[in-house]
Amino acid sequence: MKLITKVICLIVILMSPVIALYAYSNAQSTRLVEEQLTIANRQRLAIFMHQIEAAMEQVSQYSNLISQDPDFAQFAGNVIPANGYDYAILSDTLQRKLSLFSTSNAWMNRINAYFPGSGHAVSSYSLLPYDEAYLLDQATTRWTYRNIRVDGADKMAFTRFFIVPASAASDIRKADVIVEIDLMADNIERLLDSFKTKGNNDPFLYRSAGELVLNGSAEESTIRRLIAQEGSAIAADPAEGYRSVSLDGRRYLVYGLVSAKIGWTLVDYVPLETILAPVTYSRNLFYVTAGLLILTGAGAAYMIYSQVQRPIRQLGEGTVRLERGDLSARLPPGNNRDFAGLFRQFNRMAEKQQHLIEKVYREQLRAKEAVMKQLQSQINPHFLYNSFAYIVSMAQMNRLEPVVSMAYSLSDYYRYSTRNERLDTTVKEEVAFVRSYMEIMNMQLRKIGYKIDIPPGLEAVDIPRLLLQPIVENAIIHGLEPKKGGGSISISGRAADGIVRFMVEDDGVGLADETLERLNASLKETEPPGDDCGLWNVHQRLTHRYGSAAGLLLTRSESGGVRVTLSWPDVSNP
């Protein structure tokens, strides 16, 4: 046997197993590509459909906002201003709110609100007449696809009516408000364009032959022939994840996903030869190149992937999780020494960031909760009722001077207590507020005296708002009102040894030593002791503002009543 023959035979013997192995590998690769492509496409279809459903769900929430808005409630309750100017202002306000709702969504939309009770209508686009016949004919609580007219142009849109209350759906004339939301089909067309990748696939949204939403470069004739051939079976086979369809001599893989919320089917189809083109090219390339080179390249690629790309991808995924607000994102240490140090630094950074953000968030929540509870506790309806009853009584007796005095005091009181643009105030303003409150209570009860002794140097000190009034109110309610005869309250302030102290004393009925101890202990609890939490709120606000060295202390006063001492570090003179 010639040498050349031996070499050829040896090459054939060596290459035959490689070729056979590659043939098998190619068949498995083809199957794997189809499976992975099916998984990827199903995920992409699910994400795309979720975007559509999420957008529709978002705009659906506008109906709740509209039904709860006080301005819209005027039209819904047929409380229409008789003055033409006020009516115009209210109509303009409603239209601007609808426009704001409309523009807050990235998708182009139109929002119309109809008020059967008053026979009015408002639109986010332009003036809209109330048309009961239109509502009776068109109003449906399901998403429908129809032609609408916007700014003189015809547009296809997804429309849904929201009827409030829902029980009025059978007779819309009994509804308080009917909200019509139109989502332009152009939004979905643009989304389909972004879904289309490299021109290989051709996604579209489908419900029936006459209801189609296509992408901007869709082959409409192919799509309609595909629908005519497959009909309602165009949705993917649940067992396979896709359908294989032959059309005009070409094979297509058709992927479909039905939305249970809107009743539409998202369909995407790809020519089979396009899907297998990379595999076919790789197979042909293998027959003209050396198998060893391919295996070497594959090994090198895998090494790069496992040693470089995978760690970078993990780092990117961790960064994305942090960006999305997942503060628990951590990276596994792994065996890659080149990236282990970077991963440890990332984990330490994420842990520190989580700690700082959670700390700030907790502090903000505590501060806001304390302020809100304190503000709410000030607006006492019984206090307001008693004040108005006093005004009425004095007016009936034609005693105008007490009426004027009470009105001025109430004005000062509520102007201060409801002003929340600033959380801080000065001692001078807080004392003036307390003086207004004491004047009001003295006019109501006619047995309360008070004395205020604040050094001028303390009047400009910044303190949290509504700090002293809850203490004074507590002294009046629990100390002076139960006492027979008159009583008095003393308010004093001092700054010494780096500590600011304010004392509020009364000569009322007082408290037992056990009660004082229990109250002092309850101030340090993390939760308020009950409905009467005025002292607890003040104590918590002081500790949150100035630290654990600040707070309240309840003791017995020399006159037999209760003394409440407020103290905190003097930050104005560090």
Domains of the chain, each with CATH number or no CATH: 3-57+196-287 (3.30.450), 61-188 (3.30.450.20), 291-362 (no CATH), 379-569 (3.30.565.10)
pLDDT tens profile 111-162: 888 888 888 888 887 778 888 888 888 888 888 888 888 777 888 888 889 9
Render pLDDT for 11-64 as a digit per residue (tens, 0 to 9): 667 777 877 787 778 778 777 777 777 787 788 888 888 888 888 888 778 778
Asked if residue 482 has a cis previous peptide bond (ω within 30° of 0), the answer is: no
Number of helices and strands in the chain (H, E): 17, 17
Residue 415: name the closest of 395, 432, 390 by CA.
432
* Helical segments of 162-309, H only: 185-195, 220-230, 272-288, 291-304
Gyration radius (Cα) of the chain, Å: 38
Residue 567's identity, in one-letter code, is: S
231 in helix, strand or coil? Answer: helix
Spatial separation of the C-alpha atoms in residues 261 and 166, rounded to whole Å: 18
Nearest to 494 by CA among 466, 453, 464: 453
**Residue 128: C-alpha distances to residues 63, 102, 131, 177 (Å):** 18, 16, 9, 15
425-454 burial code (b ≥16 CB/10 A, e <16): bebeebbbbbbbbbbbbebbeeebebeeeb
Q: Hey, how many other C-beta atoms are within 10 angstroms of the C-beta on 487?
A: 23
> Tokens in use for 332?
């596994």
Predicted local distance difference test score (pLDDT) of residue 196: 78
For residues 438 and 410, give the distance between their C-alpha atoms in angstroms, rounded to a whole number. 11
CB of 121 within 8 A of CB of 127? no
In angstroms, rounded to a whole number, what is the distance separating the alpha carbons of residues 144 and 381?
A: 49
Cα–Cα nearest to 262, from 218, 203, 211: 211
- Write down how long the chain is: 574
Classify strands 487-496 and 448-453 as parallel, antiparallel or unpaired.
parallel
What one-letter code names the amino acid at 404? V
State yes or no: cis peptide before 81, omega within 30 of 0. no
Burial level of 339, CB count in 10 A (0-12/13-18/19+)? buried
**pLDDT tens, residue order, the chain (574 aa):** 454 566 567 666 777 787 778 777 877 877 777 777 778 778 888 888 888 888 888 877 877 888 788 888 777 777 777 777 887 888 888 888 888 888 887 777 888 888 888 888 888 877 788 888 888 888 888 888 888 887 778 888 888 899 888 888 888 888 888 888 888 888 888 888 888 766 678 888 888 766 888 887 888 888 888 887 777 666 655 555 677 788 887 888 888 888 888 888 888 888 877 777 777 777 777 767 765 654 554 455 556 666 776 777 778 888 888 777 777 778 887 666 677 777 778 788 888 887 888 777 677 656 655 555 554 455 466 667 677 777 887 788 777 787 888 888 888 777 777 665 567 889 999 999 888 888 888 888 777 888 999 999 899 898 888 889 889 988 888 888 888 888 899 999 999 988 999 999 999 888 888 999 999 998 888 777 765 577 888 888 888 888 888 999 999 998 889 999 999 998 876 5
Q: What is the dihedral of CA 33, 38, 44, 45, to 10 degrees?
A: 160
What's the confidence (pLDDT) of residue 428?
92
Q: Is 526 helix (H, G, I), strand (E, B) or coil?
A: coil
